[in-house]
């Protein structure tokens, strides 16, 4: 039969919040309760009779609670097939009563890891009985409904109210699917924890929250975001974020976080920065950022690492842009920025925490560590006769931070605290430099005594030769070419300073 009436429920949960109305609704429909431990006490305090699991099994909870429900009297009641004559006969023979509903959640393994628990605490949060009950009930969805997370309580309660504690096969199959989502995610988290030491070459990644997007990169492509976007941002205004919006937001947030301790502003277009600057105020940082490319900024994604005040908002409001991200907003600034109804305004609540990145290709997946290295003074090795001045060092490190977040091949031209231009995504480094020079000139910048950053080494001296012709005074690059000396010799001959970092920052 497709429709089944719940007559007996096994309830054993770690989190009790939200459980009370479900218990009341089940009791209203004369459902018998089986439970153990704290959940048994919770149901009894609500005034209902409970059959202890120990009464079914003939065993107390043993080994510090590690074994409570692992017994045929429990699992038989869940797993025996009601339409199988052999199963029904055996259930009768061994006095195994049916269990039609299982409400179980899992020990908080991920939460314990996140809080920095000891190994003993973490291991004790690996659920055995609970996950077995969930899998057993989900497997027998023809006869049993499984509620495997408190996140499902509201949906389940609505079902109980609408159907008077009866369920259809479609209901049970849906909750079974939700259950296997819970168990697979749980097992992935446990594997990831143990694999931190073992480095077993197996890829596991699980995100339980998903959001269907309007479309993917293009309208003919489907798109879904998996992750907790609401945990990262509060959206204060605007339309729904698109696939391309999310990609650009990621680029903007990753770049602006490089400037911790400074007031920084970035404008992103198609994941590349078209302007980056620091300043004594948000307004100054924004204006310097906008100055680098007043054309590409149109329709861009803006990000700042400080609270947006009214003075800055008044300047930004003159520009059409898609998105603004900041840690906070003055009320008057927010009121002004919200006058454009489609403008997306995000308040960032927490920093990005990922340390790995991956993408699909060639019918598989590649994974790598995120490029979390930011070039610092300690990395700099002066390879020319002239060492860069203190101001040049500051400008070089600024340019290097921007370069790290720009598509290869890339060249960044900058002064201290301001990107002047970029050459991005070119098939040759010379082309990237020429693009950057042309762009800087088109916006009225004088390149004399500026600095240049490259994401990778120069295989030939042509880039430093072209840079010298434009008056660029100092260069930062990883080094590592077999012809490094050619570039060094040219710089020495023309009184240019050059430093090597030893760190390449390709970005594809």
Active site residues: 139, 270
Q: DSSP string of 262-327? A: SEEEEEEETTEEEEEEEESSHHHHHHHHHHT-TTTTTT-EEEESS-B-HHHHHHHTTS--SEEEES
| SS3 category, 347 | strand
Residue written as token pair 């560590």: 369
| SS3 category, 121 | helix
* CA–CA distance, 439 with 455 (Å, rounded to integer): 18
* CA–CA distance, 132 with 63 (Å, rounded to integer): 17
- The distance from CA 133 to its chain's CA centroid, rounded to whole angstroms, is 30
* CA–CA distance, 508 with 493 (Å, rounded to integer): 34
Using alpha carbons only, what angle is made at residue 61 by residues 55 and 65, rounded to the nearest 5 degrees?
150
Q: Is the distance from CB of 51 to CB of 45 less than 8 angstroms?
A: no
| Tokens representing residue 122 in the block | 């973490």
- Give the torsion through C-alpha atoms of 24, 51, 12, 70, to 10 deg: -160
**In Å, what is the CA distance from 204 to each residue of 76, 189, 194, 455?**
32, 9, 12, 31
Using alpha carbons only, what angle is made at residue 286 by residues 284 and 287, rounded to the nearest 5 degrees?
65
Residue written as token pair 């590349």: 272
Residue 45: closest CA among 81, 84, 16: 16
H or E element in which residue 497 lies? strand 497-500
Strand order in the sheet with 418-423: 233-237, 344-348, 323-326, 301-304, 263-269, 272-279, 418-423, 411-415, 451-454, 474-477, 497-500, 381-382
């Amino acid at each position: 039969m497709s429709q089944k009436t719940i007559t007996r429920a096994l309830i054993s949960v770690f989190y009790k919040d939200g459980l009370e109305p479900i218990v009341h609704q089940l009791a209203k429909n004369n459902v018998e309760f089986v439970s153990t431990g704290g959940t048994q006490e919770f149901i009894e305090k609500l005034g209902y009779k409970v059959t202890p699991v120990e009464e079914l099994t003939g065993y107390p909870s043993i080994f510090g609670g590690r074994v409570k429900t692992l017994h045929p009297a429990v699992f038989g009641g869940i797993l025996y097939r009601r339409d199988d004559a052999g199963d029904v006969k055996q259930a009768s023979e061994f006095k195994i009563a049916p269990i039609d509903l299982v409400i179980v959640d899992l020990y908080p393994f991920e939460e314990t890891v996140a809080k920095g628990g000891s190994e003993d605490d973490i291991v004790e949060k690996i659920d055995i009985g609970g996950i077995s009950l969930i899998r057993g009930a989900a497997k027998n969805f023809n006869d049993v409904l499984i509620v495997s997370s408190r996140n499902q309580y509201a949906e389940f309660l609505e079902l109980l109210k609408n159907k008077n504690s009866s369920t259809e096969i479609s209901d049970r199959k849906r909750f079974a699917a939700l259950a296997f989502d819970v168990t697979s995610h749980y097992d992935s988290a446990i594997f990831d924890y143990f694999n931190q030491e073992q480095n077993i070459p197996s890829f596991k990644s699980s995100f339980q929250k998903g959001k269907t997007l309007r479309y993917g990169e293009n309208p003919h492509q489907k798109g879904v975001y998996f992750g907790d976007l609401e945990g990262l941002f509060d959206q204060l205004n605007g339309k729904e974020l698109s696939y391309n919006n999310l990609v650009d937001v990621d680029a903007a947030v990753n770049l602006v976080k490089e400037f911790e301790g400074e007031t920084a502003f970035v404008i992103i277009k198609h994941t590349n920065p078209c302007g980056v600057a620091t300043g004594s105020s948000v307004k100054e940082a924004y204006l310097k950022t906008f100055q680098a490319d007043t054309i590409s900024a149109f329709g861009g994604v803006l990000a700042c690492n400080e609270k947006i005040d009214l003075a800055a908002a008044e300047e930004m409001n003159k520009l059409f842009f898609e998105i603004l991200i900041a840690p906070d907003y003055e009320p008057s600034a927010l009121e002004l920025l919200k006058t454009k109804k489609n403008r997306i305004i995000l308040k960032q609540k927490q920093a990005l925490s990922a340390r790995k990145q991956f993408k699909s290709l060639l019918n598989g997946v590649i994974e790598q560590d995120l490029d979390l290295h930011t070039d610092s003074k300690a990395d700099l090795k002066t390879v020319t006769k002239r060492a860069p001045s203190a101001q040049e060092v500051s400008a070089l490190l600024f340019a290097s931070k921007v370069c790290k977040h720009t598509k290869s091949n890339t060249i960044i031209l900058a002064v201290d605290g301001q990107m002047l231009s970029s050459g991005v995504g070119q098939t040759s480094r010379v082309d990237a430099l020429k693009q950057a020079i042309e762009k800087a000139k088109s916006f009225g910048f004088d390149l004399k005594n500026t600095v240049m950053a490259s994401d990778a080494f120069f295989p030939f001296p042509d880039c430093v030769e072209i840079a010298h012709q434009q008056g660029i005074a100092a260069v930062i690059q990883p080094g590592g070419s077999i012809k490094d000396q050619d570039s060094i010799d040219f710089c020495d001959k023309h009184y240019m300073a050059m430093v090597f970092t030893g760190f390449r920052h390709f970005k594809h």
